[in-house]
Amino acid sequence: MGDLAVGARSGQDGPEEQRPAEPVPPAAEDTVPAESDSGAPGLVGSGSGSSGTGSGDSGDDTARDLDESGHKPRKQRSFWKELPLLIGIALVLALLIKTFLVQAFSIPSDSMQHTLEQGDRVLVDKLTPWFGSEPERGEVVVFHDPADWLAGEPTVEPNPVQRVLGWIGLMPSANEKDLIKRVIGVGGDTIECNGTGPLKVNGKALDEPYVYAGNTPCSVDDQGGQFKVTVPTGKIWVMGDHRQNSLDSRYHQEDKNAGFVPVDNVVGRAIVVAWPPTRWDTLPIPDTFDQNLSAAAPGALGLAGAVPLVLWRRRRAGGRPAAPVTVGNSGVPGSGTAG
């Protein structure tokens, strides 16, 4: 019995037989263990890692190609492709400004010295006439030639580039026959010049500091320098500031408009000298035109003359009742029927 082998069955007391540990096979390089429940990451094989890295780069590139709204942003056009569009917009705007707002004009003569010198560029307001504004006394206005005032005057033939730029409004037009003068009288005004002056509007003398130094307000000649005119409705009377060097309304009294300029011919009011920079200045209405120059209406004059007569008759009557007016009586004292 003493030679019995010592062994222990499962569940029995006694020492347990020790067996050698079986070797664990090495993990395959391409095997990726699943992540444990505890969240601990498993081993990552080299093949899988390479694939993951490539996928991540592709996602970054896609994100860079999309904007915030998830769409691919448009590529910006080159400057040279946008330049023709910008030039077209600028030309359209210039044409609209010239037509409806402001236009540049060049001064061709010395008739407005020293207010305007030959070669000055002025900007003319063309907007207010669209709203019914009409020229006022004292304004410097540009107007279309009313009756061949510029006949015989030398004209400069523009080149094709100047024609295009003038039509657009980027430079003064050389084709339009326009003049620039100062408005002295409007419809209903009576204007007169006697001797060397002063110039009178509706009987009131003008103080004219803008007249060219050495000139007199009125020109002593028999071609039109001495005059007395009444401006018709819808017309204006214009004169140059260089009085002895301006062929203005005074010297065109024999034309179809009798020297007056139709309001419809007025392009607009010159508001500023824009070029050259050393000549920059505004063109306000002189203070002398601030005085009450309006012509009294005939009806107002008749009413003013009738008031004293009525008061005198009331005093003469002494409160007595007026005589009744019979049929056929004109109402004129001392008369029967209208004769």
Query: Tell me: the pLDDT tens digits for 79-129?
Result: 787 877 787 777 777 666 666 678 888 898 999 999 999 999 999 998 887
Q: Half-sphere exposure of 246 toward its Cβ, with a 13 Å CA cutoff?
A: 27
The percent of residues in the chain predicted with pLDDT above 70, rounded, is 57
Phi and psi at 81, nearest 5°, equal -75, -30
Q: Any residues with CB less than 8 A from the CB of 222 and at least 6 apart, and which?
A: none
Q: Of 111, 173, 219, 246, which one is the catalytic site residue?
A: 111
- Predicted pLDDT at 76: 72
List CB contacts of 104: < 8 A, sequence separation 6 or more: 121, 122, 123, 124, 169, 171, 172, 274
Average pLDDT over the chain, rounded to an integer? 74
Res. 307: pLDDT tops 50: no
- What is the pLDDT at residue 121? 92
Place of tokens 């222990």: 8
Task: Give the pLDDT confidence of 242-287 residue by residue, as tens digits.
Answer: 999 999 999 999 999 999 999 999 999 999 999 999 999 999 999 9
Predicted local distance difference test score (pLDDT) of residue 302: 45
pLDDT for the residue 62: 52
Helix (H, G, I), strand (E, B) or coil at 8: coil
Measured in whole angstroms, how far is the alpha carbon of residue 55 from the centre of its chain?
Answer: 60
Q: Which of 114-118, 201-205, 206-210, 325-329 has the lowest mean pLDDT?
A: 325-329
Max mean pLDDT among 2-16, 71-85, 201-215 falls in 201-215
Model confidence pLDDT, tens digit, residues 175-205: 568 999 999 999 999 999 999 999 999 999 9
Report which of residues 23 and 177 the model is more confident about.
177
Catalytic residue among 98, 126, 173, 181: 181
| Residue 181 appears among annotated catalytic residues | yes
